[in-house]
Amino acid sequence: MSCERRVGRARFTLTEVLVLALLVVLLASVLAPAFGRPWRPRRKGDNCIGNMRQIAVALQMYLTDTDDRLPPSEHRPEVLAYFNTAPGGNGWSLEDCPRARQANPYLRWPVILDSYLGDRDLWRCPAARLESSAAFIIGPEDWLSHLQLHQGVWGSGMGFGPCYTAWPAGWGGDVTDSVTQGMAAETGFVQSIGANVEACDLEMRDVDDPRWYVVFADAGYWGEDFGTGVLAYPDICALECANSACGWADWEYCTWAVDCGLYDFAPADGSFLLNRKLRLPYARHGGGVNLGFLDGHVKHFRSEQLIKESPSMGDPERGKLRGYGPWAPTSDCIFDPSIPTLY
């Protein structure tokens, strides 16, 4: 008795043939446009939210190495004592700005996370109208002695001083001595994704809900200013004080105003602050911005939604978002509970 079994030849039915043909046609229609376009290499850094995701991942790696403690601030007594003398002019005190931390170029978050990222261009967003450049660059590693030695050179008379952000040598690109060469906007390190340095020294366990604590965001003219108005509209200068009731209209004194075209949209009667439609052209990404959170995730927020989800001077518990200054536009730009807010 033979164990052979005859295998019949497979046949397709007419219905199966028609379905297969339809699938081929559909697949061809989808792929044809892609094959018809010339291939272009992806420009490095053109995905802003992708860049921020990589930065957020770098911070998680850093937190793993530091037992869930965020980057440090400046605590050395000799450094604090020096800056408490308000060197460089203007009579600034440590209460006016965290000068000791800002003057230490090695406490910048991009500097601290550099070894985890390996690409400084990730801090740049091509969609940005306003960007922060490495303005005050200190060459020697002993930055404090360098500032003390040149105290008569740097300061308010030079347009930068103790409240400006310092960077180490190499972060200025072709510019190595900003004291004499000025800002490095064209040739140096430029940052348009900001880091929330107000979270310095913070431990994860001290944060109620890391899912809503903002540590990275689209930044404008200052890479570390995390007030609500700056986060919601990073390409507008001082939105929360942009009205005639301030005694001056912000855009009249903002050096970036002309470049951004704010004169076309910013009447000095305060309507720019009141009218959301006038602000819309300055939302960075399709009416919104990107935020990176302490737990490592990144999310796109509509600009007006961000404002509604932010604390306010009148209601510190308002909204879900945390980690930055409250929304505080009032009729005189100085919060007073008796004065109705403009928003």
Give the pLDDT confidence score for residue 116 in this predicted structure: 96
Residue 334 lies in a domain: no
Do 151 and 218 share a domain, yes or no? no
- pLDDT tens digits, 130-148: 787 776 778 778 888 888 8
Residue 153 lies in a domain: yes
Residue 11 lies in a domain: no
Give the pLDDT confidence score for residue 332 in this predicted structure: 46
Do 162 and 243 share a domain, yes or no? no
Q: Please say which residue of 189, 211, 245 terminates a domain.
A: 189
Closest Cα to residue 166, out of 100, 90, 79?
100
Do 102 and 224 share a domain, yes or no? no
Do 179 and 245 share a domain, yes or no? no
Residue 324 lies in a domain: no
Amino acid at 217: A
Do 226 and 142 share a domain, yes or no? no
Do 176 and 285 share a domain, yes or no? no
Do 53 and 171 share a domain, yes or no? yes
- Domain span at residue 183 reads 48-189
Question: Both tokens of residue 178?
Answer: 């900003």
In whole angstroms, how far apart are CA 74 and each of 71, 112, 195? Answer: 10, 13, 17
User: CA–CA separation, 139 vs 199, rounded Å?
Assistant: 27
| Residue showing tokens 């310095």 | 200
Do 130 and 114 share a domain, yes or no? yes
Positions in the chain short of pLDDT 70: 1-12, 16-17, 19, 25-46, 89-98, 135, 155-164, 173-187, 237-276, 278, 281-282, 329-343
User: CA–CA separation, 124 vs 271, rounded Å?
Assistant: 31
Q: What are the beta bridge partners of residue 190?
A: 133
Looking at the structure of the chain, the number of domains it has is: 2
Element (H, E) at 228: helix 228-232
Do 253 and 144 share a domain, yes or no? no
Residue 37 lies in a domain: no
> What sign does the dihedral 308-314-320-325 (CA atoms) show?
positive
Residue 132 lies in a domain: yes
Give the pLDDT confidence score for residue 10 in this predicted structure: 54
CA torsion, ordered 104, 105, 110, 112, to nearest 10 deg: -70
Burial class of residue 122 (count of CB atoms within 10 Å of its CB; 0-12, 13-18, 19+): buried
Give the pLDDT confidence score for residue 13 in this predicted structure: 78
CA 160-161-162 angle, 5° bins: 150
Do 148 and 61 share a domain, yes or no? yes
User: CA–CA separation, 259 vs 192, rounded Å?
Assistant: 16
Residue 314 lies in a domain: no
Residue 81 lies in a domain: yes
Do 75 and 178 share a domain, yes or no? yes
Closest Cα to residue 79, out of 97, 94, 89?
94
